[in-house]
């Protein structure tokens, strides 16, 4: 029997939520699996495990909301296997480079910014409400995200801005690669229940309906 990954976004969200519950109820759980820069060579797995840890309810809520919002669209576009490759590549690279700047780090933000970076290349005109208020295309929102993180690099506030920038950078590069290989991977939505064929083509092309 051939094993096929049908979806990746929802399982990742579930794993993050379960692990956050373990963080909440188990003493020393976070300390054991978070990214500690001095421990990378002795415990290299923390580069991955730290991607599934979060520091507060708000931290996990907004990360998982972003993953559901952007990850679902990207996965529908490129498929779950390429989505997973991008997600872990962005997250791991962000964690590794962050270890040179932060003594401790945790969170899925680097991986999620990778997802956003890829979407900026593949669907730049995708419309969103920035901070839930201002409508704008994704490419413009991406510039604002990057500027905010650049500001945070020079004026630290406890947020992993460098991880965000690295993740987005990996996503942009991955998006360029996927765009170049578009004929080999481009997909349709699995269901046409609510959209006509013309609507699907327009959405996959520009992100707008």
pLDDT-derived band at 198 (thresholds 50, 70, 90) equals low
Q: How far apart are CA 203 and CA 125, in angstroms?
A: 10
Residue 205 has pLDDT above 60, yes or no: no
Q: Give residue-wise pLDDT tens across range 134-152.
A: 888 999 989 998 998 888 8
Q: What is the helix (H) or strand (E) element at residue 31, kind and residue range?
A: helix 29-33
What CATH code is carried by the domain that includes residue 197? 1.20.1540.10
Q: Does any domain span residue 1? A: no
Q: What is the mean pLDDT of the chain?
A: 85
Residue 178 has pLDDT above 70, yes or no: yes
Query: Dihedral of CA 151/153/156/159: which sign?
Result: positive
pLDDT-derived band at 184 (thresholds 50, 70, 90) equals low
Q: Does any domain span residue 21? A: yes
Q: Does any domain span residue 58? A: yes
Domain count of the fold of the chain: 1
Which of 93, 133, 130 has its CA nearest to residue 109?
93
Q: How far apart are CA 17 and CA 152, in angstroms?
A: 27
Q: Give residue-wise pLDDT tens across range 4-48.
A: 667 899 999 999 999 999 999 998 999 999 999 999 999 999 999
pLDDT-derived band at 209 (thresholds 50, 70, 90) equals very low
Q: Does any domain span residue 3? A: no
């Amino acid at each position: 029997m051939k094993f096929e990954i049908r979806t990746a976004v929802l399982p990742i969200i579930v794993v993050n939520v379960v692990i956050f519950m373990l963080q909440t109820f188990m003493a020393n759980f976070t300390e054991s699996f978070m990214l500690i820069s001095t421990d990378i060579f002795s415990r290299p797995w923390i580069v991955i495990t730290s991607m599934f840890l979060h520091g507060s309810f708000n931290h996990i809520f907004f990360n998982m909301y972003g993953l559901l919002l952007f990850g679902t669209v990207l996965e529908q576009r490129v498929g779950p296997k390429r989505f997973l490759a991008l997600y872990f590549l962005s997250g791991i690279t962000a964690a590794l480079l962050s270890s040179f700047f932060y003594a401790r780090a945790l969170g899925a933000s680097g991986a999620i910014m990778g997802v956003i970076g890829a979407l900026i290349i593949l669907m730049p005109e995708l419309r969103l409400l920035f901070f839930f208020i201002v409508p704008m295309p994704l490419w413009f929102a991406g510039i604002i995200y990057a500027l905010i993180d650049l500001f945070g690099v020079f004026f630290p506030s406890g947020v992993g801005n460098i991880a965000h920038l690295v993740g987005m950078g990996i996503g942009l590069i991955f998006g360029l690669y996927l765009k170049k290989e578009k004929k080999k991977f481009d997909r349709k939505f699995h269901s046409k229940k609510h959209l006509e064929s013309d609507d699907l083509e327009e959405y996959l092309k520009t992100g707008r309906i």
